[in-house]
Structure 1
Amino acid sequence: MRRGMRNLIINLIKLGLTFLVFLVIFKRVSFPSLTEILQGVKFIYFIPTFLLSLAFTILKIYKWHLLLKSLEDVSFSKSVDSYLIGMTLLKKLSSTC
């Protein structure tokens, strides 16, 4: 119970700081100039970045599958599940520490 309360307080502090950062940003940058900048962005440049990050993740999943396959007979879908669950848990654990 005590740890849960500590995590709640930490998450509330993070949320407050995030809100404060966005508040400062939006006070300094006018909304019309922000929309003008976003309209000028060429989203075509994000496609290679997205594809490369997707390929990198698939390669990491395949590497994980080969590691699991050396220990026991595992399907690729189970390897994908365990990799993604592990990354989620790792992210959750690193954000609470």
Structure 2
Amino acid sequence: MAVEAVGEIFTGIFRFLFRILTEVLLEFLLKGTGYFICRPFSKNINPDGFKVVIAGFAFWVLMFIVALKVFNFVQVDKCLDSGGSYNYQTKTCVHQS
């Protein structure tokens, strides 16, 4: 009986956290960003529409790709600043000894 009560409490907590996470992810990150992208192009844009979600999703995918490119650039720059040479084929920093 006590185990069932604890299980129900944890289930309720996880449902609550999942709901908050999905609402924040969907509403704010996808729809919010998509709305701000689509709004200058159309005054009749539906904030809950499919175009808004796709625009928001495309934006975040693009930001992820840009972040990966910037990270790679920073790694190469760190290597060169420390006096090494960067091997682009193996993606490693080579220091001359």
TM-score normalized by the length of structure 2: 0.39
TM-score normalized by the length of structure 1: 0.39
Query: Which protein is bigger by CA-based radius of gyration?
Result: 2
- More strand per residue: 1 or 2? 2
- More helix per residue: 1 or 2? 1
- For CA contacts below 8 A with separation 6 or more, give which structure has more relative contact order: 1
